[in-house]
Structure 1
């Protein structure tokens, strides 16, 4: 990995990030050129400097933060052309751990370690074993887009994120295939931070379990009444209305049991899709 491609990659990331941002729905809060106030405060503290507004970040501070906390964090120097840019752009937008998870998942069977968001020797070896970086970039971007679509903030920033990922894909694949990559463009909303903590909540299976359990209980009650009906059969009138209750209870129990099982299947399926999309670890 050459220093020039780091600079070119970060230049495109900065184009996507834009300038100052403080959208109320953006979990990153106050942000300047992709650096949040929280990250800037930590950087200033680590260098023995007094805190100040991220609006005042210098070019040198900006480069050091991007170089240390994003480029080095994803081991950009050890990643092939195009893959390095795609992974670091995801790291700036969603954090290094999440971007590395997309990379590990995109590697498929080439990567045999844990999906843990830590880029170690196993991840690097798997990347080096991949002979189609163009397709790898496609899979990374697919992972990223699926993740974004399962965030609560998708309704606010989906258009911007989609445009950003589409352009990241094009630029990354141009690098991977030896072509000259295009410049990056800013699309409002694409700079919003996209964190796993903002993933949509999986539906609870508790109502389904309760409904299914309730249906079984009603079946038991209808059985008891059916026995009572047989005992009261000499008393025609009593036996008739008990029979009607038995039929009603049987229908109710069937609806509850079937409905509970169906919703339980739906809830578990949706939870599994969510876990897959957000790249749940463990």
Structure 2
């Protein structure tokens, strides 16, 4: 499943990266399939990086680009352990602006410690998060960062379109909503302890009936006042215990 998600997300990334380019205003310099001259040189352990001929960037194969993307971006961000949709949003952000920035933005969205390292706390928070809200917030943060860059006037239109496309693709991959499970949990909460509430209600009705001069044989033996007080005590005790458990 993780490999399938990587291939799916990589295909989306490459759709936006395109082929070889060497725009003078692009700080990345010569780039092919999103892999910059410097990144390729470091990957191949060529130092200094400019000793690697630009022709090597132009001749980069998809297979090698895939290995670079997996090792330096996907695995580094532990995207394979993130929920569908969030994985793509983080991965593409990392490719575009660096893994550290992408991870820190994710952590800020999830409300965990922002240290740029995806560990158990970040993964746990991502698993519990509303994936669609996290994707929306992450893409908003990413776009806000891009708008603050000096060369946004040159590349801004393309960046904005890319973030919009990634947002759409990520949302399509994310679970439709957590509302159904929350609704189910809500129903279970309502039904939880229903027998206790029924007994308390019967006691309360019995007490009121006795006050009106009616006796219910199943609950006789207690005064109207004591039945009502016991019923109220059960209800308040139940509510109090439930509240304490919720706070634990």
Q: Quote the residue 1:153 is aligned against.
A: 151
Shift of 1:116: 2.2
Q: Quote the residue 1:21 is aligned against.
A: 21
Unmatched tracts of structure 2, length 5 or more: 178-248
Q: Quote the residue 1:117 is aligned against.
A: 116
TM-score by length of 1: 0.58
User: For the Cα contact (< 8 Å) 2:2–2:80, is it kept in 1?
Assistant: yes
Please give the root-mean-square deviation of Cα atoms over the aligned residues, in Å. Answer: 1.7
Instruction: Tell me how far apart the structure 1 counterparts of residues 5 and 171 of structure 2 sit (CA, whole Å).
Output: 14
Unmatched tracts of structure 1, length 5 or more: 180-282
Mapped pair 1:106 → 2:109:
yes
User: For the Cα contact (< 8 Å) 1:44–1:51, is it kept in 2?
Assistant: no
Q: Quote the residue 1:188 is aligned against.
A: none
Matches within 5 A, 1:1-282: 1-45=1-45, 51-52=52-53, 53-108=56-111, 111=112, 113=113, 115-130=114-129, 132-177=130-175
User: For the Cα contact (< 8 Å) 1:82–1:137, is it kept in 2?
Assistant: yes
SS of alignment partner, residue 118 of structure 2: coil
Instruction: Tell me how far apart the structure 1 counterparts of residues 175 and 152 of structure 2 sit (CA, whole Å).
Output: 31
TM-score by length of 2: 0.66
1:225-261 Cα deviation digits (max 9, x unpaired): xxxxxxxxxxxxxxxxxxxxxxxxxxxxxxxxxxxxx
Shift of 1:129: 2.2
Shift of 1:168: 0.5
SS of alignment partner, residue 44 of structure 2: helix
Shift of 1:134: 0.5
Shift of 1:165: 0.4
Instruction: Tell me how far apart the structure 2 counterparts of residues 5 and 124 of structure 1 sit (CA, whole Å).
Output: 17
Shift of 1:60: 2.1
User: For the Cα contact (< 8 Å) 2:5–2:80, is it kept in 1?
Assistant: no
Shift of 1:178: 5.5
Shift of 1:177: 3.0
> What is the aligned residue count?
171
